Each structure stands twice: as structure tokens, then as C-alpha cells.
Amino acid sequence: MNKGRYLFSQVLDFIDKYEFNKCVKRYFGNYHVRGFDCWNQFLYLFFGQLTSLGSLQSICLCLKAHKRKLYHLGIKISVNTSSLSRANEKRDWRIFADFGNYLINIVRPLYTDYPIANVDIDNEIFALDSTSISCSINLLTWAEGKYSRGAVDAYAA
């Protein structure tokens, strides 16, 4: 039996929900939303990223398998794949881009005094994860990508 807090909920303590809500408000992300708001969408995608899940379906399936633990993870609502997919399609991507820039600005000063061995570059280097998440190609007719793999890379859109 678990006697402490789950690791995911402990990591969420470091994420400033107030700053995230400022980004949501800036782009009207929760406008006409009833239950599955931007914060819950972020939690689902953040969980999928931390656990290296490869698709929206696997994220929803994994969280559905642990339905009794969702509250303790910090996730208030359970959704299916189509709801998560629809939220990703309809909501403004700039919400997450602005919040990502906010997080980068927090982390950047922490590593200014730590040079990378054998690398001598005057400019800053950023390494962001560019994982491609498998999804239905029939829904992404607007995107250019690697249709043989069944995934669309973010840079191709």
C-alpha cells in the first residue's frame, strides 16, 4: 500500500498553475469549456511525456487502468481518446508555447555557470523533445509528414 505521494503529483508541485492560467486566459483557452479544461489537458499530455507513452490512446488507456489513483496523481477528470484529441485540435497551441517559454526562462539561469565539456559555442543551446505522437492520418489531411510511419512530426505542420 502506498503511504506517500505519487511521484507525478510531487513533480506537479514545481509547476506554477497561476502562470499556466495566465497563459490560458491570454488566449481564451477555457472559453465555453465545461469539464475538460486546459489544465487537465496539460496534465494528460504531461503524464504521457513523462511516461514515454507514444500515442493519445496509450495515454488514456494507461490512466484509465489507474482510474482509482487519478485523484492522488492530481488529475481531476478522466477522458477518452476522442475528447483529448478534440481538445488538442481545438485549443490554441500558443497556450502551451507561452508556458514552455516561461519554464525555459526559469531554468535558463540555473545552468549558466555549467559549461558543456568539449563544446565551445558562444550562443545559447536549447534541446527540446520533438517526439512524434502516432495518430490517425485521416484526421490530419492538412499536415505534411511521414505517412508510412503513421505519425506527423511537429515541424512538418
pLDDT in tens, 99-130: 999 998 898 888 778 777 777 777 776 666 66
Is the pTM here over 0.85, yes or no?
A: no
Band of residue 155 on the pLDDT scale cut at 50, 70, 90:
very low
DSSP character string of 48-79:
HHHTT--BHHHHHHHHHHTGGGHHHHT-----
Q: Which of 100, 35, 156 shows the shortest CA–CA distance to 146? A: 156
- Other beta carbons less than 10 A from residue 60's beta carbon: 21
Q: For 29-79, how does the pLDDT look when each residue is reduced to its tens digit (9 = 90+)?
A: 999 888 899 999 999 999 998 988 888 999 999 999 989 999 999 998 889
Distance CA 143, CA 136 (A): 12
